[in-house]
Amino acid sequence: MLRICFVFGFALALFAQEDVATLLEQKCLHCHGGGLELGKLDLRTRAAVLRGGEHGATVVPGAAATSKLIRMVSGLDTPRMPLGGSLTEGEIRLLTDWINSGAKYPDRPLVAKQSVVSTEPPLRDADKKWWAFQPIAKPAATIDSLIKASLVKKELRPAPRADRSTLVRRAYLDLIGLPPTPSEVDAFVNSKAPDAWSRLIDHLLASPHYGERWGRHWLDVARYADSNGYEQDFDRPNAWRYRDYVIRAFNDDKPYDAFLTEQLAGDEIDHPTYDSLTATGFLRSYAKVGFREKDNPEFRYEYLDDMIATIGRGVMGLTVQCARCHDHKFDPISQKDYYRMQATLFGYVEVDQPLVPPAEAKIWREANARVDAAITELRDRIRILEAPYAAQILPNKYKRFPANVQEAIATPEAQRTPGQTLLANQVTRTTRASAAEIDRICSPADLATRRQLNAEIAALDKKRPAPVPMAMSVTDGDYRFTPDGPGDEPAPGKGIKAEAIAGSFLHEGPNRYSAPPSFLLVRGDIHAKGEPMRPGFPRAADWGGLPVEVPPASGQTSGRRLALARWLTAPENPLTARVMANRLWHHHFGRGIVPSLDNFGRMGDKPSNPELLDLLATELVTRRWSLKSMHRLIMTSETYQQASAIEDPAALSSDPTNKLLWRYPIRRLEAEIVRDQVLAVSGTLNQTQFGPAIFPPLPAELLASSAKGIWNQQPDGPETWRRSVYVYRKRGLPFPMFETFDLPDQNIACGARNVSTAPTQALYLMNDPFLLRQAHLFAERIREAGGDPVATAFRLALARGPKPEERTAVATLDLDALAQVVLNLNEFLYLR
Amino acid sequence: MQSRRKFLLEAGGGLGALALTSLEAATHHAPRAKRVISLFMSGGVSHMDTFDPKPALARYAGQPLSGKGDIVVRQGHPGPLMPSPFKFHRHGQSGLEVSELFPKLGALADEYALIRSVFSKSNDHVQAHYALSSGQIRMGFPSLGAWVTYGLGSVNKDLPGYVVLYDQRGGPFGGPANWTAGFMPAAYQGTVFRASGDPILDLKPPPGLSNDEQRKRLAALAKLNAIDAAQTPANTELAARLESYELAYRMQSAAPEAVDLASESAATKTLYGLDQSHTEPFGRQCLMARRLVERGVRFVQLYHGGLGNQNLDTWDAHEDVRSNHTRHAAATDTPIAGLLTDLKARGMLDDTLVIWHGEFGRMPISQRGLGRDHNPGAMSIWMAGAKIRGGQVIGSSDEFGYKAEEQPISVHDFHATILHLLGLEHTKLTYRFNGREMRLTDVYGTPIPQIA
């Protein structure tokens, strides 16, 4: 009996093994075994299963409950497997029992029963009807009528107009990020002109500081920085030209459609300009590993993903990047949509464009090439001269390696064991005789010759043409032939990999350029190439008719990025105008009509006032994408000019967060504006615009925390008392004051910044040497102004005079104390 | 839970000093640890020379590593298999094998669970650091400490909830991005405590500004802000700013006190190695860590190995694993053993989690005869405290230590385990960023069953 039970149990176990094998073959192996091993997981053999995949062990025999396989198929861990279909309870129980009884495999090879088919889910009606994809409908209304209508529904009333001194400070800080001087305040407060407000707005829009303020908002979207990030954090010596381009574009009121087109395809438009070539730095502002991307293609896919994320979130308000590994979970963006967009960008290469006329650039390049060639020849002569000396030196250098290495090197190549060959190669291929070592044994004659050759090299080097200004750009080309740049020196002994294909970095004609092929990557795995992809636009937002390539006459690029720009700025595309109109509203009111500025999809927020959003989007397009015109429209509304004080306490209970805008929202100024305002109030702001970044002093310990890259420390003084938009943005070391005041991470496109209140902010304002020095200079300014110091301090910092009770509060303070206290006031740090 | 966390932040948390009334209020299940001390050995520790003995390396010494596909090294060409220059000894009741590099840690073998099958994704120092710090090899994602502080807040309102103490020779690979709050508010980022002088940047007014004078200024500021606040009743943000000055003022005395070692006994200082010049720097970091967690700091991140001279000052033993690891093991063995011993003696080890790891392991093959190159395929890490069963070995690497073999553990699994011990379910600790519920473990991770 016992024996029968045993045999029966054994047979059952065998049956179970076979059932499990069949289950695996039908449901799992097409992705995890055979041709594809997604997640580097192979479920075909027991050994492979125990080894697991890139996410770790899959099965721990005897412990089904904690085995990853069970957690994944039962949905305890995500994503639930198998993708696109789930197992029945019975099947999960079968797997559970199998693991608990040891996870044995049948004695036969397992083979997948299905192959991967990449399908694209059809668009559903609900997808097509999603609000963000609907055409913009212009309401017959105004900003104020729409705001009032939503207030009336809640029985709320708008606040009265703010007083004039509040309004003038609001307009200055909002539009140019600097406070008004007392005389500017007086001029507006005392003006009898009926159009004083709109004239003030025009005056500020014409200020060169406007671009420094509003350009910075865009630089957040562009994840702009002056260094590469990652290990070496290399300096990007020309990055600032893109920053200046953005500031100038805002100052010039460059239409937003042209602004976008230049940034996406400034090299592909009909008449590229220095500006438009510089603008393509937008695409290149990703954090970069900087280690031979052509040998490490996985990095390049990350950069492409970063571009897709930035364009998706920054311009379209869609999280396209979520569809890299699978169809988007919530929005109608298929994985193919993602790879269509990747195909659009796939030809890109990084290139530094000389910002001089082509003829001059050609002369410059050729002159440099001549010097390079001459120097190469001289270096070769030196190498030949040094060779016999190096041959004497090297055997001595090998002596500092352990005995087994020396023995390997001493053994004739043909007689070395495989291990000795490896050891000997490691050392001989990476050991060099240094110039100093050769000097010591070199004959006087050879030494003189070498010195002469080196002098000739130095002289040639001096004959290089003066550097020309360069823009950090992208254009189309073939990344597989990228020349080495900083950080691309191959690791010692690795050498440059010879390419097995013919081609060139930039297209050299005479045929038209064609982009290197790109593919759908199954599960986003660069080793799992699926079908070849053509460029295209997300289907849910594709209104048809627009070409996916607009090749330029020169034939040097694919025209795919230009096609993308045309599609984004087409009148039928509602995303671009809505997203930008919403950004403008956000920066004027502290909250977007769609609060999730970068996500108009299902996981984002819905518009609180859809008609208002459409009104603004229509106006933006009608006004030929003029942002300055939009500022005028928004700021001349009554809604914008409301007081921020609470007039009606009842309103607080019916709309406590002021979502409906029954008053002007109070909000903290951004990090840069806090610093700029301090400089302006103390009277020390250096208004120099543009050019290479500044490096205000940082404590040595802080610099030590990030040893790589540059921080060309300047002493605290007028040279560094420039606006914050010019402070060097180092990815590896965010400027601490900015970080304390919620600088967004510099590596991800960011629309809405966080606003936090932390004691470190108080510590900065209480104790930082920069702040205290500025407070002292502010005190000096108050003293020099003579008269009533409290009134001077308040008028300079807050655009208003002090109240009697405020005078009492500061009565016992000396000037330095008064100045510092004023710079710490809530009112000073907030826009209201 | 998230909206509650968010509300608390807006209502004036700041610095991770969220005023969560009790730990239980924030956790998903009963926690086994209330705080974490993380010991990051920067540069990449060789597992085959420390916690993962590989006799096969001696057997096959000098032969190529074959049958493993392309051997990807970071520098130059692959070399032949190289045995460890160090002996291994069995320790404790468990008989755990630890190399002679760590005599004191070896003696404490029964206190920690050793995991020999952790693998990571990148053989680049910086990316590998970010992977351990945030789960992502890319920059810009919130660090483990930020997630923990976001999840649990701080107990001591006068100190930051998340403190970083890096090597006096310089910051680790990848710098401050290792303790970033990423897309979360700045309040959750790690606060760097300096080893000498005022521990926090801008903590004290510069000389010439007396305490009385500062108090006077703060009093006037409070009055003016109160006058202003009367116009804007119910504005929690402005109220929080008022309070943040009080916090900052208290922090000025609390932070220096927390890291002032003067009151520690001579015996304690000796325990941590403060009496020896080679153990003093890291001993100081470890002792400061104990004082910080004692005072309610939630997450203390220590680094050993800093970017001065990379081959000398970090565990990056390309040139010579014997001399490099001898130096760094000697500098850390006493301090870390001292920390574990001290925590235990004070009854704190039961609810403190101590973790030890580098950013990747090293190669079983030699680099030019004496060194070892980077190897993300396998590394050894250990976890102590939090009632984890000590002396156990989890997982294994292959016979040479080239790849994780039995029960491979990903960095996400490691992170999920840490959160689990703190009472947080890694799939539920989310932060909504731009329409997506972000997680430390992305869409991966399973707590290690032997520990969780």
| The predicted structure's pLDDT at residue A309 | 95
Long-range pairs for B196-200: beta carbons < 8 A, 24 or more residues apart = B198/B255, B198/B256, B199/B255, B199/B256, B199/B258, B199/B259, B200/A760, B200/A763, B200/B160, B200/B251, B200/B255
Whole-angstrom Cα distance, residue B156 to residue B254? 10
Which value does ipTM take for this structure? 0.81
| The predicted structure's pLDDT at residue B1 | 42
Distance from CA of A821 to the nearest CA of B (A): 6
- A736 at the B interface (CB within 8 A)? yes
Q: Report, as an integer, the average pLDDT of A467-480.
A: 92
Give residue A235's Cα distance to chain centre: 16
pLDDT in tens, A209-261: 999 999 999 999 999 999 998 878 899 999 999 999 999 999 999 999 999 99
pLDDT in tens, B357-390: 999 999 999 999 999 999 999 999 999 999 999 9
Q: Report, as an integer, the average pLDDT of A508-530.
A: 85
Residue A115 has pLDDT above 70, yes or no: no
Picking from A321, A826, A831 by the largest number of B CB atoms within 10 A of its own CB, the best residue to mutate is A826
Q: Which residues in chain B are contacts of A400 at CB distance < 8 A?
A: none
pLDDT in tens, B210-219: 889 999 999 9
Distance from CA of A595 to the nearest CA of B (A): 9
SS3 A655: coil
Mean pLDDT is highest, among A771-780, B238-247, B435-444, for A771-780
Q: Report, as an integer, the average pLDDT of A276-286.
A: 97
Distance from CA of A99 to the nearest CA of B (A): 14
Q: Report, as an integer, the average pLDDT of B218-238.
A: 83
Residue B180 has pLDDT above 50, yes or no: yes
| The predicted structure's pLDDT at residue B244 | 86
Candidate from B14, B166, B229 with C-beta closest to A705? B166
CB contact under 8 A, A761 and B244: yes
- Structure confidence at residue A478 as a pLDDT band (50, 70, 90): confident
pLDDT in tens, A697-742: 998 878 877 778 899 999 999 999 999 999 999 998 889 999 889 8
Distance from CA of B345 to the nearest CA of A (A): 33
Residue B188 has pLDDT above 70, yes or no: yes
DSSP string, A372-438: HHHHHHHHHHHHHHHHHHHHHHHHHHHTTS-HHHHHHHHS-GGG--HHHHHHHHHHHTT----HHHH
Q: Report, as an integer, the average pLDDT of A273-293.
A: 91
- A574 at the B interface (CB within 8 A)? no
pLDDT in tens, A761-770: 999 999 999 9
- A91 at the B interface (CB within 8 A)? no
Higher pLDDT, A793 or A110: A793
Residue A492 has pLDDT above 70, yes or no: no
Peptide bond into A535 cis (omega under 30): no
Distance from CA of A403 to the nearest CA of B (A): 9
| The predicted structure's pLDDT at residue A32 | 82
Candidate from B12, B76, B408 with C-beta closest to A426? B76
| The predicted structure's pLDDT at residue B219 | 94
CB contact under 8 A, B434 and A604: yes
One CATH from 3.40.50.150, 3.40.720.10, 3.30.230.10, 3.10.20.740 for B2-199+259-439: 3.40.720.10
Distance from CA of A402 to the nearest CA of B (A): 6
Exposure pattern of B171-191 as b/e (b: 16+ CB <10 Å)? bbbbbbbbbbbbbbbbbbbbb
Residue B84 has pLDDT above 90, yes or no: yes
**What's the whole-number average pLDDT of chain A?**
89
- A325 at the B interface (CB within 8 A)? no
Candidate from B9, B185, B407 with C-beta closest to A57? B407
pLDDT in tens, B118-138: 999 888 898 999 999 999 988
CB contact under 8 A, A646 and B233: yes
pLDDT in tens, A148-175: 999 999 999 999 999 999 999 999 999 9
pLDDT in tens, A574-607: 999 999 999 999 999 999 999 999 999 998 999 9
Q: Tell me which of A148-162, A319-333, B115-129, B198-212 is least confident.
A: B198-212
- B275 at the A interface (CB within 8 A)? no
- Structure confidence at residue B11 as a pLDDT band (50, 70, 90): very low
CB contact under 8 A, A429 and B367: no
Residues 318-377 of B with CB under 8 A from A: 365-370
Residue A296 has pLDDT above 80, yes or no: no
Residue A498 has pLDDT above 50, yes or no: no
| The predicted structure's pLDDT at residue A752 | 82
Compute the radius of gyration of chain B from its Cα atoms: 23
Q: Report, as an integer, the average pLDDT of A339-351.
A: 95
φ and ψ at residue B165, rounded to 5 degrees: -125, 110
Domain-by-domain residue ranges, chain B?
2-199+259-439
CB contact under 8 A, B241 and A760: no
Whole-angstrom Cα distance, residue A766 to residue B202? 8
Q: Report, as an integer, the average pLDDT of A117-145.
A: 89
| The predicted structure's pLDDT at residue A528 | 79
- A705 at the B interface (CB within 8 A)? yes
- Structure confidence at residue A35 as a pLDDT band (50, 70, 90): low
- A356 at the B interface (CB within 8 A)? no
Q: Which residues in chain B are contacts of A766 at CB distance < 8 A?
A: 202, 205, 214, 217-218, 245, 248
Q: How many CB atoms lie within 10 A of CB B98?
A: 25
Distance from CA of A413 to the nearest CA of B (A): 16
CB contact under 8 A, A68 and B203: no
pLDDT in tens, B291-318: 999 999 999 999 999 876 667 889 999 9
**What's the whole-number average pLDDT of chain B?**
90
| The predicted structure's pLDDT at residue B231 | 74
Whole-angstrom Cα distance, residue A210 to residue A583? 16
- B145 at the A interface (CB within 8 A)? no
Picking from B221, B223, B250, B359 by the largest number of A CB atoms within 10 A of its own CB, the best residue to mutate is B221
